[in-house]
Structure 1
Amino acid sequence: MPRSLRIEKENGVYHIINRGNYRQDLFINEGAHAAFEKCLFEACEKCEWVLEGFCVMTNHFHLVVRTPKGNLIYGMKWLQSTFANRYHHYRKVHGKLFQGRYKSLIVAEGSHLGALLHYVHLNPVRASMVSVDQLKDYRWSSFWYLFNKRKRPDFLDCSGGLEAAGGLADTPKGRDQYLSYLKWLSEEDAAQKEMAFEKMCRGWALGTKDFKKALLEEVEDDNEPVDQPEKVPRYDGERLREANELRWEMLLEKGLSAIGKDTKSISGDLKSADWKVTLACLLKLKTSATNVWITQQLNMGTPDAVSRYVSEFRTSGGDQKMPFKELTTKVMT
């Protein structure tokens, strides 16, 4: 069955988002904002998180959290359940508070983390709640704490945004320069596009293709022989299609390397070449790769042809012979 892609890493950095159930306004007044911030800060202390940034709006929140102990799932469960219990007790209401578990994207260090912090800090501006000039007065954000240094808790690290805006110092001058930078950024659609603002809440990871591949390699723990397609690891949801295809690509690259083939061989050899059929069979057994994807990657003609070639290969016992098993071991380990 499909499964969620949940990655917990020691010292991992995450963008976490959740909304009120049915997108209802959840943080309806200063008291609700303050109560959530209190729970968030308690979670950071309890789990020893580093809070890189946050912004609490009226019906949703954004958190940028570093987890030195790799305990994101435990910490988020505690944070949301504790806030919900307190909210219900105080308001004498019942029912589901958040729209779901929460969404988390693991984030690459450097420019991707910096762009995310800019995105989070500019949330109230994009929602037309404040202007950029008023941003430092928006109370429920790490940007407010940037300008109120003495009130920062020890676990709140406000240096990321400053560093990403040009290595600015955490001084009155540096903070003013960061505000000017955000004002420029808020007016520059091209710069926002380059930083991929529109993708900050999509998918499962923010980073380069190599970064994502490395993450998938870390979670590839299910290396037992798998013969039934329905038991093959496949990450659920349209938003995780990229993770599935990256996994298929990684295994295909390992397979090509193991048999001494390359992209020239793919285009130059027969569509029904034995080595192509062998790799296609391996991909069908060990991944949820579609016939369409395999056809395109291995230049095998049509999706129906892939099905036919693989079926004939298995009927002849090719997948039970030692060469196939040895190749499978090389690719899957």
Structure 2
Amino acid sequence: MARLSRLALPGEVHHLIQRGHDQQPIVRDDEDRRAFMEALRECAALHKVVVHAYVLMDNHLHLLATPPAPESLSRMMQSLGRRYVTRFNRRHGRSGGLWEGRFRASPLEAAWLLSCMRYIELNPVRAGLAERPEAYAWSSAAHHLGALRDPLVHDHAGFWAMGNTPFERDANYRRFLEEGSSPEEVEAMLAAALRGWPLGSDAYRAQLAKLTDRPLAPRPRGRPPRKTVPN
């Protein structure tokens, strides 16, 4: 069976996941992390992809981003691979690919935006790398909690709706983070991104169906039921 094309729709927020091959590190130290983030900023700007949230872990990357064109996400990630992987290989005396195949992505409805931001920015806390999300230097959490201004991050309207002032938004978002992600939320977000299906309501999928001919849900398995011919 042919592999489905990646679902990438202009103007829609997408959750991207890129993993290291065989769960191997994609960064080994802070010099790698700085180089990765510099390359990501350059490639996002080059292809005009708007990044709303991110976390760079040792062996994978999460992004929440909006592309201006269907091919923008792929071109950004291809550019990132060329710029960063070449440098990583040269620095560490290795060759070959770094990624576990192509990146995974799914568009998501606005109602899922904050939940996905929370899941992304709590990654280091869940992994035991930081006690507080903003203490981890390689994510957008510090930006959203008012600790610094991250030039990579462009706040989504859904985040701005959390308060009328920066102080109110920061406080409300902190409380939202402290609530944590439910197992059901995490399962839904990961399943959608890894399988390439949109995350949202039936109405959202119907809206997306007007923008693409690609299937938006798995087809039923097995043969269709045989029609009964009346006697």
TM bucket (normalised to shorter chain) is: 0.7 to 0.9
Answer yes or no: is 1:179 the counterpart of 2:177: no
Matched residue, 1:142: 140
The 2-side partners of 1:170 and 1:28 are apart by 38
The 2-side partners of 1:107 and 1:159 are apart by 13
Aligned residue type for 2:80: L
User: Unaligned regions of 5+ residues in structure 2, if any?
Assistant: none
Matched residue, 2:88: 87
The 1-side partners of 2:61 and 2:43 are apart by 15
Cα distance change on mapping 1:2 and 1:159 into 2, 3 Å: closer
1:168–1:178 contact (8 Å) kept in structure 2: no
After TM superposition, the runs of 4+ consecutive aligned structure 1 residues lying more than 6 A away are none
The Cα RMSD (Å) is: 2.6
Looking at CA atoms only, which structure, 1 or 2, has the larger radius of gyration? 1
> Per-residue deviation at 1:244?
2.7
The 1-side partners of 2:5 and 2:205 are apart by 12
Cα distance change on mapping 1:118 and 1:147 into 2, 3 Å: closer
Answer yes or no: is 1:211 the counterpart of 2:209: no
Q: Deviations over 1:102-134 (max 9, x none)?
A: 1111122x2112211111111112212222xx2
TM-score, normalization: structure 1? 0.60
Matched residue, 1:17: 17
Q: Give the secondary structure class of the aligned counterpart of 1:244.
A: coil
1:114–1:160 contact (8 Å) kept in structure 2: no
Matched residue, 1:76: 77
> Per-residue deviation at 1:148?
5.4
User: Unaligned regions of 5+ residues in structure 1, if any?
Assistant: 222-234, 246-288, 302-308, 310-333
Answer yes or no: is 1:198 the counterpart of 2:130: no
> Per-residue deviation at 1:170?
5.3
Matched residue, 1:26: 26
Aligned residue type for 1:184: E
Higher relative contact order (CA 8 A, sep 6+): 2
Cα distance change on mapping 1:103 and 1:170 into 2, 3 Å: farther
TM-score, normalization: structure 2? 0.84
2:146–2:170 contact (8 Å) kept in structure 1: no
